[in-house]
Amino acid sequence: MKLVQNNPEGRAGPSGATDLAAYALRLYIAGQTPKCRAATINIKTICETYLAGNYKLEVIDLVDNPALAASDQIVAIPTLVRTQPLPVRRIIGDLGNTERVLAQLDLVPRPA
Amino acid sequence: MTSTKATPAPPAHPAAPQIPKTPTGIEGLDAITDGGLPTGRATLVCGGPGCGKTLLAMEFLARGALQFNEPGVFLSFEETARELTLNIASLGVDLNDLTRRKLLVLDHVRTDRHNPEASGDFSLDGLFIRLGHAIEAIGARRVVLDSVESVFDGLPNRLILRAELRRLFGWLKDKGVTSVITGDGSDRALTRHGLEEYVSDCVIELAQHTVGQASSRRMRVIKYRGSTHGSGIYPFVIDPSGIVVLPITSKGLAHAVCDDRVSSGIADLDTMLGGAGYYRGSSVLVTGSAGTGKTSLAAQFCDRACARGERALYFAFEESSSQIIRNMRSIGIDLAQWVDKGLLRFQATRPSFAGLETQLMLMYTAVKSFGPQVVVVDPLNGFLIGDNVDEVKFMLMRLADMFNTSLITGLFTSSGIGDHANGSHEASISSLIDTWLILEHLEMSGERNRTLSILKARGMPHSNQIREYVLGSSGVHLSDVYIGPRGVLTGSARMTQQAQEQADALLTQNETERLRLAIASKQRALEAKIELLRDELSLQEEQARRIIGLEESKARQLQQDRAAMGIYRTRVAPAAPGAKHEAGPEQP
């Protein structure tokens, strides 16, 4: 059910073991709305840029899994949840502001 | 055409199409709203913290599920499902059971915990999906969003949130579910974020007022599109069965009257009240300062009612039931027997224990459950805390209305404590009262004595007299008062007067007797005299008769003698002494 986009194309990180990825992220969306599409693209870009090989990203479409909305306490869409490392962090919105997303994820922006 | 224009044409058609309604099942609320909340629309329930919004909302769902078989979804933004379940369990509703039976979905929406950072545009689709999923899972007909405004605390960007909530309420309408949305009110607005702008089909405000040290809850229907509704402020209580709203006051004054009469418990008082006592279903006010015997009057009223086999309910706000029973025993009224027989019930509480509305509701429920013919409220003035005369009046009006419609005779006592301000309080409630008895202390010749008079008694001829009100060893009775040169006499002055009158009467009686005897003796003397005279008369008569007889016989003799002498002369005249022989020759 879960649309898992996990270290695409076997680009294994330095650790090699994706299950032990330092970063576990979940992006909750509801259908393919512009906002959701934008969020999906934005987070993928950020992950690839900053966490390549060291992350696990799940994109969960609540239209397909409505029950998860309640169990995972989702109100706003899109919502990005960092489940690892602790503490759990939440960012809502289309994730267009990269600096804010990085700050929330405790990542240091890389000079362009 | 012209004629129809001329008439005002009242549109109030009894069969006017009403919008469909969904009953809440909450006693009283459905009456106020003429049948319930608008079906398929949203109702805003607003009010400050702790005024019962969540409970009302939960009861709406629980009763919907249990009484009307309408499943419901409770989306809680404040309390967790566990907290809610525990809180509602105290009212005897098992939410877990409802959940198991697929009559309820409880979802706690946590918005405050995470305080997520926002990065760009977002929507509340997550909430929509949760709600939609829950509604579909059980086929819900009712939805509650408890304090949906909490999303403003948990999520950034108020503009987006406002737009999203507006969309949410529209979406709920499209779903056709009947929803209750709660919102925290403040002094300035019904809700903190102006929910009433979006949810405007029906708005109910709950409030908690504190007067003195007692608080009371009230409910008001602020608006209800497309429907009539009660426009008053209705008290409600949260009792073990949930929210109970008293739909006050009958809308009109059309209650049936009863010609049946109820004894006041005092025969003399009944006589004063047109010979039969109070009207059944009427309200009686007994006023008097401390110690004038208000409670005794009330107790005797109950006692006699119970003796007739009626049920009496006694609301005591100053004394406990055991105190009243003990005190009344001292004047020979045994109330304990009626309590044992279940005919008399005491409900003794401090007036400050709860607000007026709560007290009213407690009284209302007690009356409903006990079903008395006679109710005593002793005393009313415990409720007069500060400046709440109007509220007490309102409460009394509701009570009087309730008693009237249920044909309960209500007796209210009130002590003015002799001060004029309170007196005017009584005056302000007097218009609600059918019979008003006044108990007073009369201070005279070093004593205080009690008097009773009737200030008014609607619909019956009644005595204008002030009577002395005596607490005897076998209850209360009235005695005639004596009007002396200085006014009404009571107590020992009355007794003195009584004794005086008795003495006077005795004196008069003696005098009369003496006169009578004198006359009799005079009569006897005269009669004796008359007798004497009569004797004398008859003696004289006798004498006269005898003399007359003598004279007559003398004359006759003379005549005979003469005749004999004549005969003798014609014949050979015999010797004169032979007169005895005169008849001799005639005999043969």
The model's pLDDT over B538-587, given as tens digits with 9 standing for 90+, comes to 999 999 999 999 999 999 999 888 888 888 777 665 555 554 554 445 44
CA atoms of B558 and B552, how far apart (whole Å): 10
pLDDT of residue B148: 84
* Residue A102 · residue A50 · CB < 8 Å: yes
B112 vs A contacts (CB less than 8 Å) = none
pLDDT of residue B6: 40
Contact A94 B123 (CB under 8 A): no
B126 vs A contacts (CB less than 8 Å) = 28, 30, 62, 69, 74-77, 79
Which overall architecture, per CATH, does domain A2-104 show? 3-Layer(aba) Sandwich (3.40)
- The closest of B173, B179, B149, B170 to B161, measured between CA atoms, is B149
pTM of the predicted model as reported, rounded to 2 decimal places: 0.63
CA atoms of A99 and B447, how far apart (whole Å): 95
Residue numbers in chain B where pLDDT is lower than 70:
1-17, 112-115, 187, 211-214, 247-257, 352-355, 357, 384-388, 416-429, 483-488, 571-588
Q: Does A65 touch chain B (CB under 8 A)?
A: no
Contact A79 B133 (CB under 8 A): no
CA atoms of B353 and B355, how far apart (whole Å): 7
Contact B133 A28 (CB under 8 A): no
CA atoms of A13 and B259, how far apart (whole Å): 98
CA atoms of B144 and B110, how far apart (whole Å): 16
Q: Looking at per-residue confidence, does B423 or A36 come out higher?
A: A36
CA atoms of B399 and B574, how far apart (whole Å): 140
Question: Which token pair is B171?
Answer: 């979406």
Chain A: closest CA distance from residue B131 (Å): 9
Chain B: closest CA distance from residue A75 (Å): 4
Q: Looking at per-residue confidence, does B59 or A112 come out higher?
A: B59
Q: Does A37 touch chain B (CB under 8 A)?
A: no
Contact B126 A95 (CB under 8 A): no
Interface test with B, best of A37, A80, A89, A92 (most B CBs within 10 A): A92
Chain A: closest CA distance from residue B179 (Å): 19
A104 vs B contacts (CB less than 8 Å) = 117, 119
Residues from B contacting A (CB-CB < 8 Å) are: 107, 109-111, 113-130, 132-134, 151, 154-156
A76 vs B contacts (CB less than 8 Å) = 116, 122-127, 155
Contact B122 A62 (CB under 8 A): no
A96 vs B contacts (CB less than 8 Å) = 119-121
pLDDT of residue B561: 87
CA atoms of B49 and B53, how far apart (whole Å): 8
Q: Is 70 exceeded by the pLDDT of residue A13?
A: no
pLDDT of residue B525: 93
Point out the residue among B117, B121, B154 whose CB comes nearest to the CB of A91.
Answer: B117
Contact B130 A70 (CB under 8 A): yes
Q: Looking at per-residue confidence, does A9 or B524 come out higher?
A: B524
Window 71-100 of A, Cβ < 8 Å to B:
73-79, 88-97, 100
Number of Cβ pairs closer than 8 Å across A and B?
A: 108
Q: Which residue has the tokens 């809180």?
A: B87
A28 vs B contacts (CB less than 8 Å) = 126
pLDDT of residue A97: 79
% of chain B beyond a pLDDT of 70: 85
CA atoms of B436 and B287, how far apart (whole Å): 8
Q: Is 90 exceeded by the pLDDT of residue A55?
A: no
pLDDT of residue B566: 82
pLDDT of residue B416: 64
Question: Which token pair is B96?
Answer: 């877990």
Contact B125 A93 (CB under 8 A): no
pLDDT of residue B135: 92
Contact B129 A93 (CB under 8 A): no
Chain B: closest CA distance from residue A73 (Å): 6
